[in-house]
Amino acid sequence: MSDEYDLIIVGAGPAGLAAAVTASRNALKTLLVDEQADPGGQIYRSIERALPENRSALGPDYFYGQKLLEDFRGSGADYLPETTVWNVDRELNIGLLTNGQAKQIRGKHILLSAGAMERPVPIPGWTLPGVMGAAAADILFKSSDMLPAGPVVLAGSGPLLLLVACRLIDNDVPLAAMVETSSARDYLRAIPYLPGAFRAYNYLLKGLSMRYKVLKARIPVFQGCRDLVVTGDEEADGLRFTCHGADQHVRASTVLLHEGVVPNLQFSRLAGCDHEWFASQRYWRPVIDKWGRTSLEGISVAGDASGIRGAKTAEAAGHLAGLDAACRMKHISDAERDRLAAPYLKAVTRERSIRPFLDHLFPPACQALVPPDDQTIVCRCEELTAGQIREAVALGALDPGQVKGYTRCGMGPCQGRMCGLTLSEIIASSASLPIESVGQLRVRAPLKPLTINQLADLEIFE
Amino acid sequence: MKHSDVVVVGAGIVGASIACGIARQGVRVVLLDKRKAESRASLGNFGLVWVQGKGQGARRYAEWCHQASREFPEFVRQLLDETGIDIQYRKPGGLVLSHGEEEYLKRVTVLERLRSESRDGTYDCEMLDRQAVQRLTPKLELGANIVGASYSPHDGYLNPLALLRAVHVSFRQQGGVYHADSPVKRICYEKDRFVITTPQGQHSAEKLVIAAGLATESLAAMVGINAPVIPERGQLMVSARVQPMLSIPVSGIQQTVEGSFIVGLSNEKIGINTDTDSAIIKRMASRVRNAFPALGGLRIVRTWASLRVLTPDGLPIYQQSEACPGAFAVTSHSGVTLTPLHMNQVPEWIMKDIVPAEFDNFSSRRFHVEAVA
Amino acid sequence: MLKRLHEDRPAATVTIEFEGEKLKVLAGETVVAAVMAAGAAFVRTSAVSGAHRAPYCQMGVCFECLMEIDGVPNRQACMIPVRDGMVVKRQYGAMELDYE
């Protein structure tokens, strides 16, 4: 492995894979690194070893990724799986950990395509064993051919909720109920965005067929639900909620929560890229141009890490970033780049057209953004509650770093990944400040822990 | 326009403790602060209450720090009584390890100098041989290169974040008013009163204290005080929690009450820069491993950099303005260690004009360039 | 907690040890999935309160799946595929460093 790559790509999901293919095709010396053992990111997780038994359950959208994987394997790009990226900076240094050895190398261009994560759903009881994100169940299915044994209760909102419901039904997992926090009112709000959506017809049909499957399986479905609470002592035993004023309690040994997906910003924030607030889905995303270039020279972002737009948009964005890198390295001219980019730009425009509809159909529930109950744990690692955070704000801490100093919120192993968004929302709400001005916790290296030995033996390549 | 008796600008540990100490006298205090915590030294530091080695060539500073250390336990008790907050203060003494003979001899020279400069020819800090040091760190074997250490019984550590919070809580309890989103844009002095302008409005007061870290210089200039401050970056690391292994702070390595190890072993004059540098982190990790090989397995979860607020000679500034009497500038990079004095003696100086003897050496006049006639 | 969907599919069997017990698991599974399929309701206890914790995200974000694997503490068990002979233990509270 040489130490001076033209392009270093972080994350082997659709965006990273596509960028690797296009960059290699244009003779860039390319390195793709990923934490997992297999390429594919989360959406095409374990696609190269997908079980034939699961073929129909996984469906055509999943196997669409197969061609991309094949193209990547044939691309000639260098690939480092099971590699943790622990540092990225504006000088384009990148810290890698492979096989217990830490090194730091420099790239001429870096593409951050680390995808997304589920928005954490802080409701009372969410730290009990047996509570997971809905996508977590899907990941278990793809990577380990497992699912919760059940009974399961699915709660929240978003396209993934229906998808996981169908996953469970297809595999005979008892699904005790679907508890939706979105309501008919959200459908009405989203309707105006429908006409502008290309292939909206397909999405609607897919959604309807999934709803029909849930209906046919006679799963109790509750809509417009509020005040969700996971019940149980040492582990989850069910979900309490109110629906149209009536209290409900559904018994389950697994509670799957979902309130949408948010970009993984660890890398772009660590490097120091500018970010902007995306109000309709309430998350920050890096400021980028159509090529994925950020505010920092030589650093680009593509795919869900730049904003949630799905796998097909991610793939097109990856190709665009690869072309842009090739142009920046003077392997192709501006005109060549623009010519080759045309179909991908069209694809991005097409795929993105469904987003306003989906974003307005599934806004994250208020309870998940600003937990009303003071007892709700916000920082799972340090076991800090919403009340403790509000107390710190009342003491005059208006900055996430100051609240962190007063409470320890964000100081645990996850370093703010699970509590950061909630922390900013609570400060904004309690102090009546616009969340854009509140900002976020600062992200620092190492992005994942390194031992003193690994740091002391760090190989730095200038 | 909001009127009060005293306005304090800067709510890090120095400003907040002075404000709190003044408020305890029953005086109306307004504490002004900028919102962003980004470069606040009080949030990024190591938490040492440290005396040994300070004040070489500056006896008054050595004495000032020793006095603070003596008053620390009582200060902690009072703060706990008032606020119920445990700032995790421990005073097991402190060690500065000697990696190799050369470092040992250098340290001996430092102690000898401090001894000879002291008033009575003593300096309560002794050199220990390797065996004696090992007895103080029974659960962590010393690296092969460690030949000994200097040990002072006056050193200790605490949780600097809990300290800052406790001081703010105490301030509020004393009736102090804190404005968390009020960076100071202008200060005027008219008719024996100070008018302080912030984007949120104006404040007026008879007395003004500027203790704003790196912003002290520009603010102090507005009231005719020359208070030069220089940022000096220090990098730190913190580990995941570990079962208790180290109960005494050891030159830049300590284990907190929660169980995490904190390491802070660098200084760079690099301007306003809070980036971390992998090469320096690597050197720090190496030094930790040399000190205690078993710490090689520590899992570092975060590195960061903070800016020390230094004056050109490293000694504090405690200065009243001559042009605008009633305005004071305070800066010291031992903000944590000196807290008891900032709660008591410094408010006495500000409000009652009781000037500590040490302050001869801490005037900002020492930085004035002599005008050429 | 978790069930295997195709218990008898053709796959290499891997033997790991979990809390002293030998488990037969399938190649390709993650460590945390394997122990949860064997019935483990929790995989660590919190260093703050001792509360039982189990994975939330299954993708390396939440750090709830920290377990001791082959003697090394605090490893994200959802990110590590099972390997034959692996020794897996729950992470009980804060990690230990070997006394020298």
Per-residue burial over A357-367, b = 16 or more CB atoms within 10 Å of its CB, e = otherwise = bbbbbbbbbeb
Which chain A residue is nearest to residue C25, measuring alpha carbons? A144
Look at A129 and C61 and tell me if their CB atoms are within 8 Å. Answer: no
- The pLDDT score that the predictor gives to residue A462 is 79
**Which of C29, C52, C81 is opposite residue A235, by nearest beta carbon?**
C52
Residues of B with Cβ-Cβ distance to A446 under 8 angstroms: 300-303
Residues of C with Cβ-Cβ distance to A136 under 8 angstroms: 55-59
- pLDDT greater than 90 at residue A358: no
By a Cβ cutoff of 8 Å, what residues of chain B touch chain A?
Answer: 11, 33, 35-38, 40, 42-43, 161, 164-165, 168-169, 172, 178-181, 237-240, 275-276, 278-279, 281-282, 284-286, 288-289, 295-304
Distance CA B158, CA B91 (A): 9
Distance CA A161, CA A178 (A): 8
Residues of A with Cβ-Cβ distance to C2 under 8 angstroms: 140, 146-149
Q: Which two tokens stand for residue B7?
A: 């306005």
Cα of C53 to nearest chain B Cα, Å:
16
Cα of B243 to nearest chain C Cα, Å:
5
- pLDDT greater than 50 at residue A237: yes
Residues of A with Cβ-Cβ distance to C100 under 8 angstroms: none
Give me the long-range contacts of B256-259 (CB less than 8 A, separation at least 24): B256/B47, B256/B88, B256/B159, B257/B88, B257/B90, B257/B159, B259/C47, B259/C94
Distance CA A359, CA A357 (A): 6
- Burial group, residue B82, by CB count within 10 angstroms (0-12, 13-18, 19+): middle
Look at B288 and A398 and tell me if their CB atoms are within 8 Å. Answer: no
Residues 238-297, chain A, touching C (beta carbon < 8 A): 253-254, 264
Distance CA C20, CA B370 (A): 78
A53-62 average pLDDT score: 88
Residues of C with Cβ-Cβ distance to B141 under 8 angstroms: 99-100
Any C CB within 8 A of B138 CB = no
Any B CB within 8 A of A93 CB = yes
Distance CA B37, CA A441 (A): 10
Please list the pLDDT of chain B residue by residue as tens digits (373 residues).
Answer: 899 999 999 999 999 999 999 999 999 999 999 988 877 899 998 999 999 999 999 999 999 999 999 999 999 999 999 999 999 999 999 999 999 999 999 999 999 999 999 999 999 999 999 999 999 999 999 999 999 999 999 999 999 999 999 999 999 999 999 999 999 999 999 989 999 999 999 999 999 999 999 999 999 999 999 999 999 999 999 999 999 999 999 989 999 999 999 999 899 999 999 999 999 999 999 999 999 999 999 999 999 999 999 999 999 999 999 999 999 999 998 999 999 999 999 999 999 999 999 898 999 999 986 544 4
Look at A444 and B180 and tell me if their CB atoms are within 8 Å. Answer: no
Any B CB within 8 A of A453 CB = yes
- The pLDDT score that the predictor gives to residue B373 is 42
- The pLDDT score that the predictor gives to residue A308 is 95
Cα of A130 to nearest chain C Cα, Å:
7
The partner residues of A254 in beta bridges, in order of sequence, read A152
**Which of B169, B296, B304 is opposite residue A452, by nearest beta carbon?**
B296
- The pLDDT score that the predictor gives to residue A454 is 98
In this structure, the number of other CB atoms found within 10 A of the CB of residue A333 comes to 11
Look at A442 and B240 and tell me if their CB atoms are within 8 Å. Answer: no
- The pLDDT score that the predictor gives to residue B369 is 65
Residues of B with Cβ-Cβ distance to C95 under 8 angstroms: 240-243, 299
Q: Which of C97, C98, C99 to mutate to test the interface with B (most CBs of B within 10 A)?
A: C97
Any B CB within 8 A of A414 CB = no
Residue in A442, A444, A404, A403 with CA at minimum distance from that of residue B38: A442
Which chain C residue is nearest to residue B295, measuring alpha carbons? C97
Q: Which of A97, A105, A402, A458 to mutate to test the interface with B (most CBs of B within 10 A)?
A: A402
Residues of A with Cβ-Cβ distance to B40 under 8 angstroms: 401-402
Look at A89 and B298 and tell me if their CB atoms are within 8 Å. Answer: no
- The pLDDT score that the predictor gives to residue B104 is 97
Q: Would you say A54 and A145 are in contact if contact means Cβ atoms under 8 Å apart?
A: yes
Q: Which chains touch A (3 or more CB pairs under 8 A)?
A: B, C
Which chain A residue is nearest to residue C36, measuring alpha carbons? A148
Look at C74 and B299 and tell me if their CB atoms are within 8 Å. Answer: yes
Strands A175-180 and A221-222 turn out to be parallel
Cα dihedral A157, A173, A58, A41, rounded to 10, equals: 60
Reported as a single tens digit per residue, the pLDDT across C31-44 is: 999 999 999 999 99
Length reported for chain A: 462
Residues of A with Cβ-Cβ distance to C3 under 8 angstroms: 146-150, 173
Look at A456 and B285 and tell me if their CB atoms are within 8 Å. Answer: yes
Reported as a single tens digit per residue, the pLDDT across A312-347 is: 999 999 999 999 999 999 999 999 999 999 999 999
**Residue C22 — φ and ψ, nearest 5°?**
-80, 135
A229-236 average pLDDT score: 97
C-alpha angle with apex B248: B242 to B250, nearest 5 degrees? 95
Question: Confidence band (pLDDT; 50, 70, 90) for A109?
Answer: very high
In this structure, the number of other CB atoms found within 10 A of the CB of residue A77 comes to 24
**Which of A130, A140, A382 is opposite residue C54, by nearest beta carbon?**
A130
Residues of B with Cβ-Cβ distance to A435 under 8 angstroms: none
Per-residue burial over B70-81, b = 16 or more CB atoms within 10 Å of its CB, e = otherwise = ebbeebbeebee
By a Cβ cutoff of 8 Å, what residues of chain C touch chain A?
Answer: 1-6, 9, 26, 28-30, 33-34, 36-37, 41-42, 46, 48-49, 51-64, 66, 74, 76, 79, 81
**Residue B249 — φ and ψ, nearest 5°?**
-70, 135
Q: Which chains touch C (3 or more CB pairs under 8 A)?
A: A, B
Which chain C residue is nearest to residue A137, measuring alpha carbons? C58
**Which of C2, C51, C54 is opposite residue A149, by nearest beta carbon?**
C2
The partner residues of A262 in beta bridges, in order of sequence, read A117
- The pLDDT score that the predictor gives to residue A228 is 98
Sign of CA dihedral B176, B177, B179, B184: negative
Q: Which two tokens stand for residue A159?
A: 């396209």
Q: Would you say A90 and A279 are in contact if contact means Cβ atoms under 8 Å apart?
A: no
- The pLDDT score that the predictor gives to residue A187 is 79
Q: E strands along A279-364, which residues?
A: 283-286, 299-301
Size of interface A-C (CB pairs under 8 A): 129
Cα of B360 to nearest chain A Cα, Å:
35
Angle at which helix B160-173 crosses helix B13-23, to 10 degrees, equals 30
- Burial group, residue B118, by CB count within 10 angstroms (0-12, 13-18, 19+): middle
C39 SS3 class:
coil
Q: Which of B246, B299, B300, B301 to mutate to test the interface with C (most CBs of C within 10 A)?
A: B299
Distance CA B170, CA B81 (A): 10
Residues of C with Cβ-Cβ distance to B140 under 8 angstroms: 99-100
Any C CB within 8 A of A168 CB = no
Cα of A305 to nearest chain C Cα, Å:
14
Question: Confidence band (pLDDT; 50, 70, 90) for C99?
Answer: low
Any C CB within 8 A of B294 CB = yes
Distance CA A160, CA A58 (A): 14
- pLDDT greater than 50 at residue A3: yes
Residues 299-318, chain B, touching C (beta carbon < 8 A): 299
**Which of A35, A128, A383 is opposite residue C49, by nearest beta carbon?**
A383
Look at C62 and A414 and tell me if their CB atoms are within 8 Å. Answer: yes
Q: Which two tokens stand for residue B122?
A: 């003593």
- pLDDT greater than 90 at residue A23: yes
